[in-house]
Amino acid sequence: MEERNDFSLPEKDYGEQILGIIRGNYSDDEVYEKLQEYHENDIASIFEKLTAEERERLFRVLGSEFMSEIVSFLDDIGDYLSELDADEAADIIEQMDADNANEALDELDEQTRNEIFELIEDDEIKEDIELLNSYEDNEFGSRMSTNFIVVKRNQTIKETMKTLVNEAAENDNIYTIFVVDEDDSFYGVIDLKDLIVARSSVELETLIATNFPFVYDKDIVSENIERLRGYSENMIPVISSENRALLGVITSTDIIELVDEELGDDYAKMAGLTSEQDPDESLFTSMKKRVPWLIVLLFMGLAVSAVVGIFENVVDALPIIVSFQSLILGMAGNVGTQSLAVTVRAIGSDDKMSLKEQIITILKEIRVALLNGVVLGAISFLIVSVYLFVFASYSSSFVFAAAGCVGLAMCFAMTISGFTGAAIPLTLYRLGIDPAVASGPLITTINDLVAVVSYYGLAWVLLLNI
């Protein structure tokens, strides 16, 4: 048999290799040298597998600067910092970007946070942390990074390159260089590539893009994140809403995290939760997030039951129709959820939907639901007819009337569900309310009410006197 050479790539998961280095018979210098070859995120991924003693040794071997880069990738930074002395934790915090440092401090209890904060010797990072904390959590000012390079508008190419070289060691976000006027107000940006290839005789002004996207520090994240994502820029400047001073930047990594948070929040709301659920949160916290919507849905469910009670005489005279109730309600709920998902996605993709676009969206969902209702109503009519002929002893006129009632009710309920699934989130959007609160359970319960009224109403009109 011909021998085959294996040119497969190495494994992407380096966790076992890193654990082997940490737990192997290596000196501190050898551990430091070997771990330099791995990405900080890969090292952070094995932290939960290490003992407290191993993590303590890692801090001693790698030093605060390297460790600050590693812990930035941890989901539970607070737990790790709590294992260290306050002086050691302060050393790590001091090496981190202000936004990451602020997030790390937020995971600590108030007493520990204040103790570590007071031990930070760098006044600049303390000021940056205090600035971030001055904003609400839903404002861009609280999420911005102060890690960026800024130059003056009146500088020369040579002066700008000197500034870049001097600041690159402290600020690793160098691909976009920000330009301010003499009063520190934001003026524009320079692409690093343009600066590198520019001749020293060229005017700096010719390299500056002045019509660059930006956000104000007090702008709400959820209202602007889709717009920022569409620019695909490495960094977006954050400008003071008071004097247009350049305060910070939102990096592409920040945008990804913010989009993920918004999607998680929307998913939670569409599932009938007040906020996204953490797998590690307490039982009582999880209950508090679920019970408010469940109470609302309970009363709406009681309304559905009350409507069924109104048609008690129909149910008494025609008990067979109860067999098909769940069919009507289920299909109506499915259509409403589909329309809701499509509409919320459309709103998210276009943060400035005009009234005309909203009406077009509603009409489209109605047409789609109507056509699907005609198809599924016809299929239901045939299946119910066959079922009643084979397994029941009703007259032909009753069989066709009952099957027609099911088919018509399904078509009508699905059409109305398509309308409510699109109209409710768009109405909330126009009122300035997050459309995701038109959650799946809420839409489904509303459509159940519509389906019950239409089904039993048609049964009362078409079947009760046969």
pLDDT of residue 187: 93
Instruction: Give the Cβ contact number of residue 290 at 10 Å.
Output: 15
Please give the distance of CA 425 from its chain centroid, rounded to a whole number: 18
Average pLDDT over residues 72-92: 86
Q: What pLDDT was estimated at residue 4?
A: 43
How many Å separate Cα 7 from the centre of its chain? 39
What six digits make up the tokens of 376? 């599924």
| Res. 3 pLDDT band, cuts 50 70 90 | very low
Q: Between 3.30.365.10, 1.25.60.10, 3.40.50.720, 1.25.40.10, what CATH number should domain 15-134 receive?
A: 1.25.60.10
Q: What is the rounded CA–CA span in Å between residue 101 and residue 141?
A: 15
Taking residues 269-277, report their average pLDDT: 51
Taking the C-alpha atoms of residue 264 and residue 271, their distance in angstroms, rounded to an integer, is 11
Q: 405-417 pLDDT, tens per residue?
A: 889 999 999 999 8
* CA-based radius of gyration for the chain: 31
Find the mean pLDDT for residues 35-58: 90
- pLDDT given at position 358: 87
Joined together, the tokens standing for residue 95 give 């090496």
Contact 217, 144 (CB under 8 A): yes
pLDDT over threshold 60, residue 7: no
Distance of CA 375 to the CA centre of its chain: 36
Mean pLDDT, the chain, whole residue set? 83
Residue 291 pLDDT > 80 = no
CATH code of 149-270, in short, is 3.10.580.10
Q: What are phi and psi of 464, to 5 degrees?
A: -60, -30
- Identify the pLDDT of residue 401: 85
Q: Lowest-confidence range among 188-192, 260-264, 322-326, 402-406?
A: 260-264
> Residues 164, 177: contact at Cβ < 8 Å?
yes
SS3 call for 176: strand
- Which of 330, 334, 344 has its CA nearest to residue 423? 344
In the structure encoding, which two tokens stand for residue 90, read together?
């302060």
Which of 228, 52, 64, 220 is CA-nearest to residue 141? 220
Length of the chain equals: 466
* pTM score: 0.59
For residue 276, the tally of other CB atoms under 10 A from its CB is: 16
Spatial strand order in the sheet of 176-180: 149-152, 176-180, 186-191
- Residues of the chain with pLDDT > 70, as a percent, come to 87
Per-residue pLDDT band for 366 (boundaries 50, 70, 90) equals very high
How do residues 210-227 score in pLDDT, each as one tens digit?
999 999 999 988 778 777
| Helix intervals (H) in 353-439 | 355-391, 396-430
Rounded Cα distance between 179 and 147, Å, is: 14
Residue ranges per domain, the chain? 15-134, 149-270, 283-462
pLDDT value for 246: 93
283-462 is a CATH 3.40.50.800 domain? no
3-state secondary structure of 197: helix
Measured CA to CA, the distance from residue 268 to residue 271 in angstroms comes to 5
Q: Residue 112: which H helix or E strand, with range?
A: helix 110-119
Helix H or strand E segment including 66: helix 52-71
Residue 8 binned pLDDT confidence (cut-offs 50, 70, 90): very low
Are residues 186 and 245 in contact, defined by beta-carbon separation less than 8 angstroms? yes
